[in-house]
Each structure stands twice: as C-alpha cells, then as structure tokens.
Structure 1
C-alpha cells in the first residue's frame, strides 16, 4: 500500500523538478542574452568568466571595464527586469482572476499610478520625514488607488458581466488620471528642474539605476508573490467562476481576496518604486500564458511569471539597441507591444459576444 502511494508521489516530484530545471534553463538563457546584448556587445565567455570570478573566485584575467559592466550594470539590470516582469505578470493574473475581468492589470486599474504618486510623495515631497521608505510609500499609494477604483466601480453600479467590466475599466482610467495628475502636481511644486527631469524619465520606466540593493529587494518579492499565488492556485481557479462558486467550494473568500490584493499591490509597489511605471505587462503576459498553458492557475501562474520575466528582459534589450547612442524608457517599448495586443483583446471580446 505504501509503495503504491509512493510511486505517484515520486512521479509528481520528478515532474516538478523537471519543470523547475526547464524554467531555470530558459530564464538563465534570457538573462545571459540580456547581459551580452547592449550598447557594447560582450561575449558569453566573458560573462561566464566574470560570474565565476565573483561567485567562486576563479581568478580569470579579464578587462576591468568589461567585468564592471557585466557584474555591476548588465547582470543587476537583467535580474531586476526579470523580477519586475514576473511580479507584474503575476499581479495581472491575480487581478484578472479576482475581478473576472480580462482587461484588469495594475496599469489599467490605476495601481501603478497610485504607486508612482506614493513614491514621489516620499522622495520629492518628503512625506514621512525620512522614516518612510520609497517602497512603503508606493505600497500605500497602490492600495489607495485600488480602493478608490473599487469604490468608483461600486458607486457607478458595476456588477457582473460586460457592464461590470466596463465600469471597472472606466473607474481605473479615472483613478489613473487622478493619481497621474497628483504626481505631476507634486513634481511641479516640490521638485527642482534636475529632479523633475530624472523623475519624469523614471516614470516612463527606467532600469538604468538598477543595482544590487534593488536586486535583493525585487527578487524575493517576485519569488514570494509567485509562490503564494501557487499556494492559492485552487482558490484562484474557484474565483474564475465567481465568488459564490468559491464559497460553495469552501474558499474563505474575504480572507483570500484581501491576501491576494495585498500581494498584487505589494508586487506592483515594489517594482514601480525601483523601475517606475511600466504598462501592459500585467495585461499582455497572462493572456499569452493562458493561450499556451490553459486557464488552470497551477500552470498559469509559473508560466506567467516566466514569460513576464523574459518579456521584460527582451524589452530592456530592445530599449538599449533600438536607437543608437540612446536608451529608450522601457515603458515605451512595453506600450508599443501592449497597446496593439490590448486592442486585439477588445476586438476578440466583441466578436465573441
């Protein structure tokens, strides 16, 4: 009897390990590409030798400039991009499942705009007198934005179905505009000309300032949010059919909703505080992952995290090589990809009715 139970368990562990190895290999390849490709191309051999020197003390003789670019610029940038892509994609999965809205994502629902306002309040206006971190301010702003959008959608009579979807999206647009206006007002009144230029570039999405302290913040948050969503995968499956169905399946609806919304807000706030507001990742990536692996969240969550990480690494590479001698804001690249996909989703939803 015990041997009969152990065989399926061993098979499950083997499949999980195989999938984990495959995901790690794909992600490592994407990170390697993000390190090698840029304003100056660096051979993969130089990258491996730099990593061996820093991790294992291998003692390879390398040009100090190349070694500095790989270790202190390209690697940190690729790791932060991967973490931000994964975190925003998983946040999109959470919001689309809880709201039963295919158009929900942190950018469209105003959560990114609220996080930007909170971060600017702390860094420019000096809110908290240094006792509040930029990430904490962004987290508070993201929660405030979500609550405002939820209240607006409820007050306007948003319910289930297409009317509810439209009301949530319209409320999100209104919330985004309000918090974007507040951010502009704070910058205009409190920032110097040099600060204003830096903040405006950061708000469009900027990975140039990614350093190791950002890596130690972004990576644990992305991994933690992904693992928590995997833990709640069955609850997310239940929410796909509505809150009433989730209750009938024994899901503690209010507790799970609060936990997952906090996770989505935390992931968005931390990523926005590091790289600025990056749009459409949480909208486009979950739909692409759902198309490839189906709607079950035990597969959808890791697929979305992996695809989000790869998408943002590739977007960062494009931002560095698209215009010679200049680096585009990464939000410009994601919007150029995301806006047409958003239009395609709208058209497909209309034709499906």
Structure 2
C-alpha cells in the first residue's frame, strides 16, 4: 500500500509522543503493574525481593537467595501464575476488541457488547452445570469457543440488511443477543440441582482469576500469542477496512472471506480466554480507544500497544479485586464494569455530538 493510499485509509492523529517512547512507557507501566500485583497480598513483599526471586529463577547467578522458601513459593506458585494469566487475558481481550472494531467499522464494538462473551458463557456454563466431559480437559474451552463463534455469526447476520450492516443494527443485534444468551446462562444456573456447580457457575460468570495455577496458563497463552501474531500479520487488511467495504474491495481485499476468517480467529481467542477467566467486560472496548488517542489507528503500531496497555490494566484491576475488601475477593469482572460502564456512556455521548 502506497503512502498516499495509507493516508487516505487511516485517520490522521494529533501530534504526540513518538511511537518508541509510547511503547517504552507502556512497558514500564506493565512492569510496575506486575511488581505491585506480585508484591501485594496477605503477605506483603518488598519490590526488590520480588525481582530478586524472579531473577534467581531465570539464572541463580543473577540474585543471591536471601529470602525464605515460603516467600519464594508465594511468588512463583501463587501470585505469578495469576498475574501472568491476568496479563494474557487483558492483552487478548484488548486486541480482539480492536480487531472487532475494525471488522465491523464500529468503535462501540466489544466482545461483551456484541454477545461474544455471552455466547462463550453459555457454552462454558453448560459444561459446568451438566458436567459434560466429551472432550476431557478441553471440554470447557471447546464449548466456550463454539458458543462465542455461534453468537458472533448470529449477530453478524442479524445486523445485515440488504447486504449492508449499519452501526445501529449492529449495536441493537449485539445487545439483544447478549441479553438473550445471558438469560439462557442464568436459566441453566438457577435450574441446576447441584449447589456446588451453581456457585461455581455464578462465580465464573462474574469473571475472576482465583485459584489460577500454571496448568491453566499455557492454553490461553498459546491462543493469545498466536492470535495476536495472526492479527499483526493482517494489519494491512484491517487498515483497509477503515476506509469502508467498497474502498477495501477496490484495493484488492476479499472483504467477506476476510471477515469470516477473522471472526473465527476472534471467537477462538475469546472462547479460550473466557473458558479460564469467565466473562470480563469492557476491556476490549476501552483499551483500543485509549491507544488510538495516543498513537493513531494504524494496526501495525496500535495492536502491540493495545496488548501492553490491556495487560497492565487487567493486572491492576485484578489487584484491586483481591485487595479492596481483603480477605474477601471481588470478581474482577465487576471492577472492569465499574470502570468501563462510565467510559462507554461517555463514548456514546461523544459520538452523538
């Protein structure tokens, strides 16, 4: 794509900090969030000791072990897996939100607002409530993925009329689908005869990372990493979609095939994420907008920044969730909703002006 074409496709941004500076600041923000999240808890740890333990595990010569074995276990086996998973989920939801907003050309698009998270929730709750184990340990992720994909496809076709899709129809279809699927998930929960499964399903629907272990991390890590790399690989077509379907098609993009492939990819990522974390809303809505204000809409630059910011945001949100009313823990989905709800209302008012 030529510079002239790129300029026509991508909205101009206000002059700001250079891109390397923004990425550097986001890396520092993420490092600070990781440090604070590992250090805080019922047993507070100094930041220097946290990094000493981490460096010692990278290579024994990097730090002398002056800490107790209990503190090392707290860092490596209790807090680090949870922080790592929170960062993965925040990054994954953020890049999925940015991709969806480009695919449907709607800045209000979000995995939760388009019913994708609710579809994944129905699939996962079905597995939890009925104890389905058809695919063994992969039953819940597979069910969540299928639910997310079905919801996304349904919203896409409901929003199209006469071969075109408007913003209003998309939002209405997404909200309606989310409400219907949330009602289905709630119905499955309240009609369950097993109180333990009911409690597990309710906690899961609210979103949370309690009880995270290393065994829970690797599948979502692979999904988020591979999915983000794939999205970076198609950043040019995503940029083309910002100019509209007709303009993108005239520049050689098979819009319908590209959208179908990206819908499957996004559904796979969201389904895998929701399977381990539950439904966590608004992350995919907020982070892309903040990043666009900082560095513009070019997905080659925006996707890495969005991943870093989303990871830092959810790590901090999870830190607040587990420390605000300690020793009790708030589902992290409540924290993100308290932040994202007002942001969504502000965004709607801003777009209506």
- Equivalences for residues 256-275 of structure 1 within 5 A: 256-275=258-277
Equivalent of 1:154, from 151, 155, 160? 160
Equivalent of 1:303, from 302, 305, 308? 305
Q: Which whole-Å deviations, capped at 9, do the CAs of 1:96-137 have from their partners, x for residues lacking one?
A: 101011110100001001001111222322345344521111
Aligned to 2:51: 48
- Equivalences for residues 198-347 of structure 1 within 5 A: 198-347=200-349
Give the match's secondary structure for 1:341: helix
Q: 1:173 to 1:46 in 2, by over 3 A?
A: same
Equivalent of 1:29, from 32, 35, 43? 32
Aligned equivalents of 2:326, 2:205: Cα separation in 1: 22
Structure 2 residue ranges without an equivalent (≥5): 1-17
Structure 1 residue ranges without an equivalent (≥5): 1-14
Aligned equivalents of 2:71, 2:272: Cα separation in 1: 30
Equivalent of 2:103, from 98, 106, 112? 98
Any conservation in 2 of the 1:86–1:304 contact (CA below 8 Å)?
yes
Aligned equivalents of 2:306, 2:207: Cα separation in 1: 20
Aligned equivalents of 2:176, 2:25: Cα separation in 1: 42
TM-score normalised over the length of structure 2: 0.87
Superposition deviation, residue 210 in structure 1: 1.6
Aligned equivalents of 1:303, 1:202: Cα separation in 2: 29
Q: 1:182 to 1:214 in 2, by over 3 A?
A: same
Q: 1:221 to 1:20 in 2, by over 3 A?
A: farther
Superposition deviation, residue 309 in structure 1: 0.5
TM-score normalised over the length of structure 1: 0.87
RMSD over aligned Cα, in angstroms? Answer: 2.3
Q: 1:33 to 1:158 in 2, by over 3 A?
A: farther
Give the match's secondary structure for 2:170: helix
Q: 1:190 to 1:167 in 2, by over 3 A?
A: same
